[in-house]
Amino acid sequence: MIPQPSEFSIAIWKRFTRHRGAIIGMVIISLIILLCIFAFLSPFNPEKSSLAEKLLPPSPAHLLGTDALGRDLLTRILYGGRISLTVGGIAVAISLLIGVPIGALAGYYGGKIDSILMRITDAFLSLPSFLVLILLAAILREVELPIFQRNSVLTISLVIGALSWMTFARLVRAAFLTLREMDYVSASRALGASDRRIMLGHILPNGIGVVIVEATLQLGYAIIQEAGLSFLNFGIQQPTPSWGNLIYAAQSHFTKYPWLAIFPGIAIFLTIVSVNYIGDGLRDAFDPYKVMEKVGEWT
């Protein structure tokens, strides 16, 4: 008996919920996202200085203390989380928009198209990605166009996404190379379905699992890259907060006022670990052999 799509969905969800780390990660990342969304409820302005309250330790008035300009650190971390998570999300979306079509075309058509597209992918993989990120970020933030501003989230997202699509391309190519030989694809082709319909309507939906898993892992990677760029002062610039530039600003005060770096670091750590556990849970959940075994296809 062939399992129905609803059976697959139920099996995937059940497998995901058995992964305790993934569930805990989902709870933590959901809480972080909600706190960042409702950051506007904070009574403090994330960019307004108050020198009379500078470098205060954690207290009931300022739960995580204040920075060198007297700004509430918790408020800046929450607003910074908005920036870092947004950059990560946009970067992953850009990577998907580039990598998935390249992988799909290479895997479906093969031959010369596959060879050309994969050589381009290999060329990008050979680049020292972080050094290129720094170079591109430095160039784009000096371009005199409205879209490329010094503090532009889009600029940083574009730079990260443009150098992170190669894994998606390879994974999608591998999935298409396998799935294009399946009987249902041959049947669709015999019935006169166009290549576009076969690729988008039949092959891609059946290979979407690996894309979803990789997207969750790439989200964490993009957040780390943004934090690294901002820490090196090539990313989001002050006074706009991001987790990376909060740590950058804390460098000169770390010995006497360690909370300035510790709390943004904890935010990054919790986010990355949570996203990675969610990715692990999705990887187990989308394992086709385990899912089919659960719904009775494999014995």
Q: Please state which of the ranges 55-64, 102-111, 132-141, 146-155 shows the lowest mean pLDDT.
A: 146-155
pLDDT at residue 226, rounded to an integer: 86
- Residue 135 domain-assigned (yes or no): yes
Q: How many Å apart are CA 53 and CA 241, to the nearest integer?
A: 18
- pLDDT beyond 90 at 119: yes
Span 7-58, pLDDT tens digits: 656 777 788 888 888 899 999 999 999 999 999 998 998 888 888 888 888 9
Quick check: is 149 in a domain?
yes
pLDDT greater than 60 at residue 274: yes
1 to each of 163, 292, 295, 297, 298, how far by Cα in Å? 44, 11, 10, 7, 10
Residue 181: inside a domain, yes or no?
Answer: yes
Domain assignment of residue 50, yes or no: no
117 found inside a domain: yes
Please report, for residues 29, 102, 126, the alpha-carbon distance to residue 132 in angstroms, rounded to integers and kept in the order given: 30, 21, 11
- List, for residues 215-266, the tens digit of each pLDDT value: 988 998 888 888 888 888 787 877 888 898 898 888 888 888 888 999 999 9
Q: What is the CATH number of the domain that holds 146?
A: 1.10.3720.10
Residue 99 is predicted with a pLDDT of 93
Question: Is 33 part of a structural domain of the chain?
Answer: yes
Q: Does 155 map to a domain?
A: yes
> Following DSSP, what letter does each residue of 124-172 receive, concatenated?
HHTS-HHHHHHHHHHHHTTS-BTTB-TT-HHHHHHHHHHTS-HHHHHHH
What confidence score (pLDDT) does residue 231 get? 81
- Is 58 part of a structural domain of the chain? no
Which structural domain, as residue segments, surrounds residue 257?
A: 5-38+81-294
Q: CB neighbours (10 Å) of residue 48?
A: 12
The count of structural domains within the chain is 1
Helix axes 259-285, 5-17, angle to 10 degrees: 140
CA pair distance 223, 88, nearest whole angstrom: 5
User: What pLDDT was estimated at residue 263?
Assistant: 92
Question: With bands split at pLDDT 50, 70 and 90, how would you rate the model's confidence at 273?
Answer: very high
Query: What pLDDT, in 10s, does the model give residues 187-211?
Result: 888 888 888 888 888 888 888 888 8
Mean pLDDT of 124-150: 74
Is the pLDDT at 299 greater than 80? The verdict is no
Q: Which residue has the tokens 């207290």?
A: 59
